[in-house]
Amino acid sequence: MKILAVSDQVDERLYTPTIRERFSEMDLVLGCGDLPYAYLEFIVSLLNVPLYYVPGNHDPCYEAASPDTQAEGCVFLDQRVVRAKGLLIAGLGGSIIYKPGGANQHTQAEMYWRSLRLWPALAWNRLRYGRFLDILIAHSPPRGIHDDNDAAHIGFDALRDFIQRFRPHYFLHGHTIAYKNNLVPPVTRVCATMVVNVYPYRLIEIEVQ
């Protein structure tokens, strides 16, 4: 399975009609937040493969009745678990809260509650497919892995606990790009999980079980 993951910044290498030829082998697209929805819609239209995404802290709050808060032709995955082309994928969007009234911002405790909502579906996955999850997509990184010290870019404790408990093959995120000239490698193994900062895009291959 070949996956195109995108996050945070529009990349001219993707925002072009030649994307159809350059990335024709992609089976799936995953969005990790803070991208214009027109960009996601362009990608899904030209590649014609499923696109799942979570919101970042600069995205609007999702409302099912409001098309302006959604990326047309794409699947909103925040606090959801799906099976897509044989892969088990879940999503947890948003960032740490750093200003009053900010969209898609959560406290550490709130992210724990948000992640708990996935547990019933993950337990069902384990019973039916023999594993909890293949990929978790998020906007923010786990606490202490690819995150930063400033108020807006601290990672979530809940996400670190999540990958230690459920051990997805991949944890994909954006949000912490190159702030403060961060020289941390974009890929870090945590237990059985590869934590990957996908900014602005990254190609991933994974075997379907």
143, 119, 149: which is closest to 195 by C-alpha?
143
CA distance 11 to 169: 26
Q: Which secondary structure element, helix H or strand E, spans residue 206, and what is its range?
A: none
- 150 or 118, which is more confident? 118
**Is pLDDT at 81 greater than 80 in this prediction?**
yes
CA atoms within 13 A on the CB side of 135: 33
Average pLDDT of every residue of the chain? 94
- Could you identify the residue written with the tokens 């690819």? 146
Fold of 2-205: Purple Acid Phosphatase; chain A, domain 2 (3.60.21)
Q: What share of the chain is helix, strand, coil (3-state, %, to 5)?
A: 25, 25, 50
What does the pLDDT average to over 145-174?
Answer: 95
pLDDT score, position 177: 74
The residue-averaged pLDDT of 68-92 equals 97
Mean pLDDT of 135-143: 97
Average pLDDT over residues 127-140: 98
Q: State mean pLDDT over 79-103.
A: 96
- pLDDT digit string (tens) for 11-51? 999 999 999 999 999 999 999 999 999 999 999 999 999 99
H or E element in which residue 189 lies? strand 187-190
Indicate the domain borders of the chain.
2-205
**pTM, rounded to two decimals:** 0.95
Q: Return the percentage of the chain with pLDDT > 90, whole number.
A: 89
Average confidence (pLDDT) over 161-172: 97
Query: Which residues make Cβ contacts (< 8 Å) with residue 188, sequence separation at least 6?
Result: 145, 146, 194, 195
Mean pLDDT confidence for 52-70: 94
Question: Is the confidence at residue 179, as pLDDT, over 70?
Answer: no
C-alpha pair distances (Å), 138 with each of 22, 133, 193, 209 = 26, 14, 14, 22
Q: Which residues contact 165 (CB under 8 A, 6 or more apart)?
A: none
- pLDDT at 77 > cutoff 80: yes
The torsion of the CA quartet 127, 129, 132, 137, rounded to 10 degrees, works out to -140
Which secondary structure element, helix H or strand E, spans residue 80, and what is its range? strand 80-84
pLDDT of residue 63: 93
How many angstroms separate the CA atoms of 81 and 98, rounded?
27
Q: 164 or 176, which is more confident?
A: 164
